[in-house]
Structures are given as structure tokens and as C-alpha cells.
Structure 1
Amino acid sequence: MEFRSATHGDIAEIVAFTTDTFEWGDYVPEMIGEWIDDPSGTVMVAVDDSGITGLARVVLLSNTEAWSHAARIRPDRRGEGIAGQLADVLLDWARAHGALIVRLLVEDDNHASIRQVAKAGLRRVATAVRAGRPIGDATPNPDGNGGRRTSSGFTARPVKAADAPMLAAAWSSSRCGRPLRGLIANGWRFHILTEPDLIDAAQRGGLWEIGSSWAVTRQDEATFGVSLLDTDPAEAFDAIRSLIDVANERGAEAFSMWLADIDWLTQAARRAGCDVSPSGIWVYSL
């Protein structure tokens, strides 16, 4: 088995076995070309006489942090240990490019991947809960408000970049930041929160104060995403509803959040009409 970086000449073969990975499809066919061109990471493929048997990607998120994802094995070659060999190759690449730690995310119901990453030597260090709902959803949620959006008693107010140092320093030891090990989400990737993250958020209008709570948000096309929410049991429900208000005002069609796995926080998300699903954040120290 040969392991090498993917090229544009591999795209058609990769797309052929990644189009229907999940019930909803897969994001790999849409992203593979962009990933191959991205100098901050690499897509590794496993190749033998039958062609490409698997792939996986690793990307540097900072000088010391790497993120691994998109591990896919051709259906007729699953169960042969190819995923584990690809993981070893990605770890070698990350180490050679200065990373001290590699993280990845696995949904709690993906039992095969959980077994594979545990076997590869990764440790689960945190649980991140994905919460989301359509904006204006008319489908009742038994734990929510029947699907009807109600306004919050709080108002989300933009925070200036001058407050970034204080917020960044407080996050890792806060009620919500501690269970997440001081990490912040960027899409489906997590890295240690830094002061520049919050300065950037403030400058693009994505850093919010909601009562004594605060949040980092980013709107991607029709989805309004919450990358970080620091709150408490008394304010959680109203803080989430106030962010839904902002999403509605900005014309978003969908609302999503990454939350710490805390019972009162996930309950607040459910009350606000969100569906929730937990995923494990796994780590390998290089």
C-alpha cells in the first residue's frame, strides 16, 4: 500500500466512492479540489493496484494545532486497517509541520469511528453538543415552544474589540469554557481560543454581550452559527433566544450552535426549539 498526497488527477476516483457516504450524501466531492490546493494541510490517499482505497485530511489551525477529518475508505476495502494506517501517516505529516497536538471530532453515534480513533491512540477530552433549528420552524418540538419563535427578554449587543483580552483570558476557566478545554469552534473544527479570534469576531460584528453572557457568532450564507456561548443557568435560555432573534433579523434560514455538554445548557437549547446531538473531541499529543 502506498500513501501519498492527493492530486487533481485523483478527484474523479475519490468522488466515485464518497458521493453517498451518508444518507444525506457527503461534503468530500464538493470540497476535495479546494483541499488539494490548500497549502495549510494535505489530503492523503492510500493507493494499491486496485486504485485509491481511502483518504483522509489534516490541516494546521495554528503553529502548534492540527485538525484531522474526512477519513473515507472505499466500501469494498473497509475493515482492512487502512483507516488506521492513514491516521498514522497524517500524524507524521502534522508532526513534521510543527504541530504538537492533533484533534478530531467524532459523533457519538459513529461507533465504528470511535473504535478506530481509540485504537489509533487518541483520547477523548471533551464533548461538544451541536444544537440547531430552522428559523421560523413550524414543526413542534416537545421540549421547546411548539416551534414558534418567541423574542428574548434580553437583547444581544455588539462587543468592542477592546474587551477581547478580558473575555479570552476568562474563557478557559469559565463555567462553559472549562468543559470544552478552552476550545472554540470554527465550523466543524475546534482550536484553543485566542485574543485575535475575539478581535476578529468583534471587527466583523460577531462578538456579543447578552446580559452577563457572551457569544461569538458567524453567518455563513443562510446559516447563523454560534461558535462559542458562555452563560449560566439563569440566563442560558434567554441568551439562546436572543441569538435566535439576531439570526432572524439577519435573514438566516437556519440557526446552529456548539455548546458545552452541560445538562442545563442543553435543556435550554431544547426549550428554544433546537435539536441537539453530542460529539466527542479526541486528541493525540505528538
Structure 2
Amino acid sequence: MSRAAERWDPATKRAVALIMLALLALLLYRFRGVLPPLLISFLLAFILDPVVDFLEARARLSRTVATALVFILVALALLAAPAMAAPSVVRAVRSLNLDFAQIAADLDRLMAQPLVFLGQEWDLRQVYGEFRQTLEAFLSTVASGTVDVVVGFASTLFWLVFILLSAFYLTRDGDRIVAWVESLAPPFFRDDFIRLRLRITEVWHAFLRGQLVMALLLAAITTAVAMAVGLPNGLALGLLAGVMEFIPNIGPIIAAVPAVLVAFFEGSTWLPLSNVWFAVLVLGLYILIQQVEGNVLLPRVLGRSLNLHPLIVLVAVIAGGSLAGVLGMLLAAPMVATLRVLGEYIYCRLTDQDPFPEPVQPPPPRWGLGRQLWNRVRRRVLADRWVVRPARPEDRAGVEAICARIWEGHDYVPEVWEEWLADPHGQLTVVELGERVVALGKLTRIADDEWWLEGLRVDPAYRRLGVARLLQAHQVEVAERVGRGTLRLGTSASNRPVHRNVARDGFRRAAEFLSYVADPLPGPCPLRSLTADDLEAAWGVIEGSPVLRAAGGLYEVSWHWMDLTRERLAAHLAAGEVWGGDLEDGLAALAILPPNPRAERLSVGYVDGEPEGVTALAWGLRVLAARRCFEKVRVRPPTYPPLLAALEAAGFARVWEHCFWIFERPLGTAVNDDR
């Protein structure tokens, strides 16, 4: 190695890193005035990026053209908003009909007399005189500050242009910027960095989407309530309530103040109430609206995306306001949620836990009536345009585009694409619409009499249009034509659309499984590798056991569930893939460890035995995983309570909220429906 290519020693690396951090901190402090506009640019780009992606994909526009079109519309909206709002504001101010001269005269008369309170006289003339002098000086300053107003307007216009230009370039080149930032992460940390970025992005997406929906809802509800009770300027007050919704906790209070003041000074346009009681009514209605928002709307709109206690949000808003003003108050909640994501990651790394456990599949969303009707119309229009055909090599790009939107971009299908495409015994099928691949699925032959459906994916833009049902029906038809025996598939217990589709195609639920994981454990291994000589003892543990009955007679090999037969057990024994634990009476429990070259975990395909023996076996599997340098031990047991309790006693923890259901149907049985 040449002198120039020698590695820096740790001391040099630390020194350079500290110097760079110091320079970065100095630059941030020196140009701190640019940070708020730049942060607003990032937020604007973050919000508009999905819109640009939509135009780029659907309208077939280039990234630059789509971005320019979106920002032209934004600029036009910014120009049109003041012009449209100015007349309403002027009318609202005029409608107050406040006679400031009369109010000043009344105050002069009131303050000219001593104030009697609780038998004591209070002379407020001096205090009032000082207040009036201060107010007059302030108004004089405002009246003579025309030049300052012009300068301030020019400065605001400059920063507005800066924000729009910065956001334009960030939106147009966002993907390249993200890829460049990800490339800077060290190789050993890059995967964690990408997952952290995706989680943080999800937090901000959830916050911004939820806040926008909440703002629109609050604006509509407040406007409707204000007009219903005859509150003047109801539309303006409703818009104010919508804007203030972006400031957590404090924003609704700020929005309520002008409404109560308008009610107090103006009264209702039709309710026979005094101004005081009308103001009390308006205050009560605002409180009621906030209760409905907090207890009904907010949980439904935002769900548990941020999962922050209100007290934490309140403290964060106050702290954000003191540090960064209004912008800090606006971004307090998502910033705290981001810090929570980072804190959870650091805690998991410090305690040697998995910071990215297997994701839990959420329940399907419930679409509204309008969306259901729209999907029905689209389904009928597109019914004759779907093309179901075997996959071809040139379909890879379309398939990867679909998989990029699934499981945070960590779908395994691109990794097995070539293998699936070259499979001579099964069939990889795609659904095409106008030369665009919108769905795919794989029919795999496990054995001559066992077949498996897997990899069913539908482009999110084409879901709920019957594509999955069409594809699955085609695959069942192919399996009926080329296969015999049993056809199976697996899906989450929460995936109700798939449940309906498999019921139509004659499937029945055969078993349900969970997923348990544990960390490796150093120490002596109490297990032994079983051999062909142990076949009778091993089959004696399995045959007729309640675990096998709960599993529907199945066991798992690389996400494929198949019949556990004596012949297959013998094959695993011959390959050295069965491990057992002995008690005084002999073999008490066993585990089948089928090979899985893609896994970073020790995968256990089947566990059976006496509960005490299973617990000892599970401890031994953790030791075996440590010896083989696996990151985790993963077991997918059937929902048999004694087995689950035995695993938990050995330190295994459940990682799936929902069960994984296995469905099966015999081949050679035609199913007629109104498909």
C-alpha cells in the first residue's frame, strides 16, 4: 500500500471529525438567519414531492416539467390568496362598527373617577395617563414608519422567492440528494440509516397529511357552527381555526380568542341573546369542537402515527416557541416523534435488541362510500382491459416499481425474480394494463402433489379493482390444469380482501401460525444433532402430537408450508437438519432446521415435544444460533398454547400482532361462482 493510500489512525480520524463538526457548528451559527427559510423550503418540497411523483408517473412528464408545473400553480395560489382575502378582511373590519373615538371618550370618563372595589378607592388616572401616552407614541411610530414597512415588504418578498426556488430544486433533485446522503453512510451502518430515514419520513408524512386533513375539517366545522349561531365573519373565523390547527394544543386557543371577542362586541345576527351570553355560548361551542376533535377526529385521522402524550406535545410546543418562534411551535410534535424514533433505535442498539423488528401488517383501510362507488366504476371500465399472461424478462422494471412501494422497499421479490422466472415447474404470472405491469403472482410446485401460491403483489394505484381476484383465479385455473393434490397459500389474519378471494376459490383455513424470535445465547449447547438412527424416536415425538394437529400437519421451509411426513423427516435427518434434546426418558423434543441461504437468522421450521423439553430445546437453539453466528433465532409455531408458553419460558418473544393463516384446497375440484 502506498503512503498516500494508508489508512488514518483512530486519533487522526477523531481529530478531523471534531474539526469538521466545529466548522459545521460555526457555519450554522454564522448563517443561522438562513436556517428558518431553508427549513420551510425542505417542508414545502417534502409536501409537494408526492404531487410531482404523481404527475411524473401518470402524465408521463419529465421530473423538471412536473416540478415546474406544480410550483407555477403554487406561485399563482400565493398571488391569488391575498387578492381574494383582502376584500373579506376589509368587510370584516368594517362590520365591527367600532367607534374608537367614543370608546376613548368613555375610557376617559371612567378613569377620571376613582375606582371603588371592596370598600377601597383606587385612583387609576396616573396609570391610565401613562398607558395613553405609550399608545400614542406607538401609533405615531407606526404612522411614521412607512419606509420600514416598504423595507420589510421587500425583505419578505425576497425570502419568499428564496423559499420557492430552494424548494423547487429540492423537489426536482430530491431523489438524487437522498441517494447521495445515503451513500455517505458507512457500509456497516447504511442499511440502518436507510431504515431510519424511511421511518422518520413516515412520521413526517403522517403528521403533515393528518394536520392538513384536520385543518380542513376544523375550518369546515367551525365555519358551519359560526354561521349556524349567527356569528359575524364566520368564514374568516373558520379559516383562522383551520390555520391555527397546525399549532398543536395552543393553536385552537388562539383561534377561539377573536371569535369570542367578535361575539362579545357584535352579538348574534339572529339569536335573542345579549352579547355577554352569546360570547359564553361561542366559547362553549369552541370547547365542544375541540373535544370532538381530540376524542373523535384526531384518533381517526392521525391514528397512532405519532403516539405522543398531550403533555409531551404541550411542553414541546412551548419549548419550540421559545427556541424558534412560530415555526418551532408548528414543528414541535413531529420533531419530538423523530427524536423518539432515534431514541428507540439507540436504546435497542445499546441493549443489543433488534431496532427493526418484523413489521406488523396493519388492517386494511375502510373506504368511504364515494371511494367505493369510484372503484366500482373503474372496475367496470377496466374489466375488459386486463391482460393476464406469463411473466417475461422485460417485466422486471415494472415489477420492481411495484415492490418499491411495499414493506418500505424491502420486498424480497426482486431478489428471487430470476429464480422464479426460470422455474420450469411453476408459473410466474403478471397482470398488464396498457403495457404496464400492475400485478404479479407465483405458482410454485413443492412436490408432485403440493403446490403453493406466493408473491401476490398489486400496484397500490390499482387495488380494490378486482385485480388480485382475477390473478388468483387464473393461478388456481393453471394449478388445476397442470397439478394435482393440494394447493396452499398463506396470508395475514388481517388481510380480509384475500380471505374473501380464497373463499370464492374454494380454499379453507388449515392452520394459523405466529412468529417468535430470540437473541443468540453464548454457552454450552445441550442439543445433539439427530441422525437416521433416530428416525423412530423422532417420528414417535411428532406422529399424532397436539402440535402437529394444531399445525394442520404442516411445517415451514423458507415461507412454504408443506406436509410433514415420515419421508421428509428422514430426509432432514439424513441432511443433519434435525436437532433434539433428551430428558431422562429419552428424546423429549426436536426441531427441524431447514436450510435458508438468504436468512440472517436461524430459521426453525418445526418444533415439537413435551413442554419442559421444548423449553430446554429452545434454550439450546439460542446457543446454536450463537455458534453459527446468526443474528436471531426465528420460530413460526402454530397457535398451540402449551408450545407458545414453552417458547416464552426460553426467552422467545412474539413479533407479529396478527396470526399467519394457511389456506388450502384440493386440486381437481372446480369452483363455480359469479366471477
Q: Into which bin does the TM-score normalised by the smaller protein fall?
A: 0.7 to 0.9
Q: Which residue of 2 aligns with 1:25?
A: 410
Q: Deviations over 1:167-212 (max 9, x none)?
A: 4476351121111122121011111123342233223321122121
3-state SS of paired residue (2:651): coil
Structure 2 residue aligned with 1:79: 464
Partner of 1:144: none
How far did residue 99 of structure 1 move? Answer: 2.3
* Aligned: 1:217 with 2:593: yes
* 1:215 partner amino acid: A
Indicate whether 1:36 and 2:414 are aligned: no
Higher relative contact order (CA 8 A, sep 6+): 1
- TM-score, normalised to structure 2, is 0.38
**What amino acid is aligned across from residue 191 of structure 1 in structure 2?**
M
From 220, 234, 247, give the equivalent of 2:612: 234
Tell me the residue number matched to 2:573: 202
Deviation, structure 1 residue 2: 1.9
> CA-to-partner distance for each residue in 1:200-254, whole Å, 9 max, x for gaps?
3223321122121111113535321111111122322222111111121222222
Alignment-derived partner of residue 542 in structure 2: 171
Secondary structure of 1:218's aligned partner? coil
Give aligned pairs, total.
Answer: 272
Which 4+ stretches in 1 moved above 6 angstroms?
none
Q: Alignment RMSD, CA only?
A: 2.2
Do the aligned partners of 2:612 and 2:646 also contact (CA within 8 Å) in 1?
A: no
Q: Quick one: which amino acid aligns to residue 133 of structure 1?
A: A
* Correspondences of 1:10-159 after superposition (within 5 Å): 10-23=395-408, 25-49=410-434, 51-135=436-520, 149=521, 155-159=526-530
Distance 1:275 1:58 in 2: 32
Counterpart amino acid of residue 579 in structure 2: W
1:176 aligned partner, one-letter code: V
What corresponds to 2:629 in structure 1? 251
The answer to whether the 8 Å contact 1:183/1:192 transfers is yes
| Aligned residues of 1:123 and 1:282 also touching (Cα < 8 A) | yes
SS of 1:23's equivalent in the other structure is: helix
CA deviation after TM superposition for structure 1 residue 275, in Å: 2.9
Higher share of residues assigned strand: 1
C-alpha distance in structure 2 between counterparts of 1:150 and 1:42, whole Å? 44
Q: Say which of 658, 664, 668 aligns to 1:283.
A: 664
Contact 2:519 2:632 in 1 (8 A): yes
8 Å CA contact 1:168, 1:193 repeated in 2: no
**Could you tell me how far 1:165 is from its partner in structure 2?**
5.6
1:254-277 per-residue CA deviation (whole Å, 9 max, x = no partner) reads 211121211122123233333323
Is the CA contact (8 Å cut-off) linking 1:60 and 1:99 kept in structure 2? no
1:60 alignment partner, SS class: strand
SS in 2 for 1:178: helix
The letter for the 2-side match of 1:269 is L
Q: Can you give the 5+ residue segments of structure 1 that lack an aligned partner in the other structure? A: 136-148
**Does the 8 Å contact 2:515/2:636 carry over to 1?**
yes
Deviates more, 1:118-127 or 1:36-45: 118-127
Does the C-alpha gap of structure 1 residues 57 and 172 become closer, same or farther in structure 2, counting only changes over 3 Å? farther
Which residue in the other structure is 1:274 paired with?
Answer: 652
Give the distance between the partners of 2:482 and 2:534, measured in 1 at CA: 33
Where do 5+ consecutive residues of structure 2 fail to align? 1-385, 583-587, 668-675
Which structure has the larger Rg over C-alpha atoms?
Answer: 2
The 1:254–1:262 alpha-carbon spacing in structure 2 relative to 1, beyond 3 Å, is: same
* Equivalent-residue separation in structure 2 for 1:133 and 1:40 (angstroms): 36
Q: Structure 1's 165 and 81: CA in aligned 2 closer, same or farther, altered over 3 A? A: farther
Name the stretch that deviates more: 99-108 or 183-192.
99-108
